[in-house]
Amino acid sequence: MPADQPNPAVAFAKHDHSDCAHRILDRAEKLSEARGVRLTPVRRRTLEILLESHRAMGAYEVLERLAQDGFGHQPPVAYRALDFLVEHGLAHRIRRLNAFAACMAPGQTHNPVFFICRACQSVAESSTPELRDRIDAAADAIGFEVERANVEALGLCPACADREE
């Protein structure tokens, strides 16, 4: 596993998270540069906000933070920035929560599985190509062409599982 491939377990463990955040922001800058797209102030700030924790955040929660920082106060401000991040693989949409989370492995082709703790709302992203292979196999069997696949697992993170019992 390369150095910049984070261990998904870290999302549920105590760790120097500002380190995660800085590493990923740097990577986001470089990726945007390389692709010729602009990581503008709102977009960058939006990513920073998502990176403040391993939780998923709703668009309105992000918006509130952006507004405090002097950006616009209306929903499209947040949705546009979030859509940009999602489109460029810098964030993911967590559909079960109607929320967004920073991607923890931007730039790497990954078929993410999201593990969502129903108690503390933290989200871990694990990269599992074999899973995608299985989905493609099932799709082939019925002649379906998969363009994107989304896997979300709901349950309890280690800490919250301990706490329940």
Partner DNA sequence: TCATGTATGTTATATCGTAACAAGTCAAGG
Partner DNA sequence: CCTTGACTTGTTACGATATAACATACATGA
Which residues between 99 and 118 bind its own copies (CB under 8 A)? 113, 115, 117-118
For the record, the structure tokens of 71 come out as 């950006």
- Residue 103 marked in a binding site: no
Q: What angle do CA 100, 102, 106 make, to 5 degrees?
A: 135
Q: Does 135 bind its own copies (CB under 8 A)?
A: yes
Measured distance CA(28)–CA(117) in Å, rounded: 26
- Residue 20 marked in a binding site: no
Which residues between 12 and 71 bind its own copies (CB under 8 A)? 12
Q: Does 83 bind its own copies (CB under 8 A)?
A: no
Q: Does 96 bind DNA (CB under 7 A)?
A: no
Q: Does 18 bind DNA (CB under 7 A)?
A: no
Binding residue for its own copies, selected from 26, 29, 108, 139, defined by CB under 8 A:
139
Which residues between 29 and 48 bind DNA (CB under 7 A)? 37-38, 40-43
Q: Residue 49 or residue 82: which is nearer to its own copies going by CB? A: 82
Q: Does 152 bind its own copies (CB under 8 A)?
A: yes
Measured distance CA(165)–CA(160) in Å, rounded: 9
Measured distance CA(42)–CA(144) in Å, rounded: 38
Within 8 A by CB and 6+ apart from 164, the residues are 119, 156
- 42 contacts 71 by C-beta, under 8 angstroms: yes
Q: Does 135 bind DNA (CB under 7 A)?
A: no
Q: Does 88 bind DNA (CB under 7 A)?
A: no
Measured distance CA(67)–CA(124) in Å, rounded: 27
- Residue 120 marked in a binding site: yes
Q: Which residues are annotated as a binding site for Zn(2+)?
A: 117, 120, 157, 160
